[in-house]
Amino acid sequence: MNTNIKCPLLSESASFSAKHTDLKECLNRPIDVGGCTIFVCKSGRAYITLNFQPYEIKAGHILILFADTVMIPVDISEGFSIFAVPVSDK
């Protein structure tokens, strides 16, 4: 049973990865950004909180988040797609 409430984007054995995602598996859960994660929104829109402040992500937006940032997706449109590059802090 997984008791981790954070949504991981990177497996524990990997030092980095690159993938397209819709973040639906992370809806209403804090995302574990590892050491750093770069996000590039490709399509659609999402409402998120960053350190408990609301933001909207739309196509063309770029986010660079570090380990001390709390990101929670709270609403995701149909067709939302984001490219994520999480990098481990280990």
Q: What's CA 72's distance to the chain center, in Å? A: 8
Closest by Cα among 84, 25, 81, 73 to 50: 73
Q: What is the pLDDT of residues 50-82, one digit of tens each?
A: 999 999 999 999 999 999 999 999 999 999 999
pTM of the model: 0.90
Residue-wise pLDDT tens digits, 20-49: 999 999 999 999 998 999 999 999 999 999
